[in-house]
Structure 1
Amino acid sequence: MEISLKAIGYVSNEVENRKDNSWGQDVSKIVLEKEYFGGLNGLRNFSHAIIIYYLDKANFDINKHLQRRPQNRDDMPLVGIFSQRGKDRPNQIGITSVQIISATEEVLVVKGLDAIDKTPILDIKPYYPMYDCKENAIVPEWVNRLMEHYF
């Protein structure tokens, strides 16, 4: 099945190259396409949002990325692509929870978005703790090591 999506906007920030860590202090603007102006109304009352974006610079190679060590680090286990949040994925979809700095009718300013400048935005959802934060969630120990310097 083939699915077609349309970008609702794009990222504007100072990040020009893909990277694997230090996203936590990056501030990004999400600039909406004109037809979606007004769609951010009410979002400024939230502290966080979930940004869904198209990893347009990613390049999934099944032989290279189906199973690999996260961030190609030797201290990480060999795991499948669906056990990690790597950028080179079968469907180039990224998702990140971010802190909202401000919102106008046409621009959302956020902190902690792990996307480079000009990345197409597919959707924006408000962060609802009852949906998006699960108590007692378990991750393997390597995930904590992997994320030490990510944000």
Structure 2
Amino acid sequence: MTISFEPIGYVENKVTEKKDTRWGEDISRLVINQELSRGLTGLDGFSHLIVLTYLNEAKFEPQRHLVRHPQGREELPMVGIFSQRAKDRPNPIGITAVEILSVEKNIVTVKGLDAIDGTPILDIKPYFPQFDCRGNAKTPEWVEVIMREYF
């Protein structure tokens, strides 16, 4: 089965190279295709949204990425790709909850998006705490280690 998507826009920011840390202060513009701009109506009533991206510069190599140390850090345990939020995956889809700074015409300005300049946007969805936040969630200790410098 083949599944295909058309991007609804692209990311515009100053990040030109892949990185694993310090995304929290990055400001990005989500440039939505003009013909879809009316679909942003009402988004300014939300403080956050979820961005789904196509990680077009990711390169999944099963021998290297299927099981690996998160962020290539040897001090962390070997875990499978589906236990990580790594960029090099079988289907290079990124998902990030971000803060909305503004919505103007076909541009949504956000803070904290972990995507580089030119990344295609597959979809955006408003952040609903009732759906998107689970208070009883748990993660392994190594997640705390990599998240200390992620945002």
Letter in 2 for 1:73: R
RMSD of equivalent CA atoms: 0.6
The equivalences for 1:60-75 within 5 A come to: 60-75=60-75
The gaps in structure 1 that reach 5 residues or longer are none
Tell me, yes or no, if the aligned pair for 1:12 and 1:28 is still in contact at 8 Å: yes
Query: Which secondary structure state, in structure 2, belongs to the residue aligned with residue 143 of structure 1?
Result: helix
- Counterpart CA distance in 1 for 2:18 and 2:90 is 18
The gaps in structure 2 that reach 5 residues or longer are none
**Which 4+ stretches in 1 moved above 2 angstroms?**
none
Tell me, yes or no, if the aligned pair for 1:39 and 1:105 is still in contact at 8 Å: no
Query: Which secondary structure state, in structure 1, belongs to the residue aligned with residue 142 of structure 2?
Result: helix
Note if 1:105 corresponds to 2:108.
no
- Counterpart CA distance in 1 for 2:76 and 2:40 is 39
Letter in 1 for 2:78: L
Query: Which secondary structure state, in structure 1, belongs to the residue aligned with residue 39 of structure 2?
Result: coil
- The equivalent of 2:50 in structure 1 is 50
- Counterpart CA distance in 1 for 2:22 and 2:135 is 26
| 1:54-73 Cα distance to aligned partner (Å, 9 max, x none) | 00000000111000000000
Tell me, yes or no, if the aligned pair for 1:51 and 1:123 is still in contact at 8 Å: yes
Amino-acid identity (%) = 56
Letter in 1 for 2:114: D
Q: CA deviation at 1:27?
A: 0.2
Q: CA deviation at 1:11?
A: 0.4
Count, aligned residues: 151
TM-score scaled by length of structure 2: 0.99
- The equivalent of 1:7 in structure 2 is 7
TM-score scaled by length of structure 1: 0.99
| 1:35-76 Cα distance to aligned partner (Å, 9 max, x none) | 111111111110000000000000000111000000000111
- The equivalent of 2:131 in structure 1 is 131
